[in-house]
Structure 1
């Protein structure tokens, strides 16, 4: 990942409403949420929310898809992984014990779902 893309992503998240939007969308993965629901949930006017969603989208942190008459927004967890990996790629200078607490903190809060046999 290019440093400019990391800076763009971090800058997009460096604003309280956008950070709250991103965290809300992460909680609603993989279904996503319509823009109106996001605005209502966070008590932000629709036109203001549209601007925030645009900034997050341009940073590559969220994407949208049309479903019928709604536009559904989803967090781009792959992009988030790329940003975090970029930040940590040179972690510890060859001393993994230094980064162990950080890696433990990044362990998912819920185990992966078992795939049903089909």
Structure 2
């Protein structure tokens, strides 16, 4: 991941509603959620949700798949992993001390 891609992803996630939408999609796993389900779960008007989904998609963090008259949204787990890898690349490189990687990534560098 390049710095411009990381900046776009972090900017998209730096807004509370978009972060909530992304986390909801991550929790949903590979099946994702229909737009209506997202709106209902987060109590968002359709137009507001549409704006935030567009921003997340533009940042490459989610993908949309039309299903008849509805649209299913999924988190892009490869993009999420790339962002995490970008943020933790060279973690503790100067100190040489292991264990600075967050949670599940510890020891996986």
Name the TM-score, length of structure 1 as normaliser. Answer: 0.83
Q: Which residue pairs with 2:100 in the alignment?
A: 99
After TM superposition, list the pairs within 5 Å mapping 1:20-39 onto structure 2.
20-39=20-39
Deviation at 1:98, TM superposition (A): 3.8
Hey, what does 1:57 align to over in structure 2? 57
Distance 1:96 1:86 in 2: 19
**Alignment root-mean-square deviation, CA:** 1.3
SS in 1 for 2:92: helix
Q: Give the drift of 1:96.
A: 4.5
* Structure 2 gap ranges (5+): none
Matching residue of 1:116:
none
For residues 99 and 76 of structure 2, the distance between their equivalents in structure 1, rounded to whole angstroms, comes to 29
Indicate yes or no: 2:74 matched with 1:74: yes
The Cα offsets for residues 17-75 of structure 1, whole Å up to 9 and x where unpaired, read as: 00000000001111111111101100111001000000000000000001122100000
Q: Which has the larger radius of gyration?
A: 1
Runs of 4+ deviating beyond 2 Å: none
Which residue in the other structure is 2:41 paired with? 41
Residue 2 of structure 2: aligned partner: 2
**TM-score w.r.t. length of structure 2:** 0.89
Number of residue equivalences? 104
Counterpart Cα distance in 1 of 2:81 and 2:51: 24
**Mapped partners of 1:57, 1:74: distance in 2:** 10
SS of 1:93's equivalent in the other structure is coil
Supply the distance in 2 between the matched residues of 1:96 and 1:79 (Cα, whole angstroms): 27
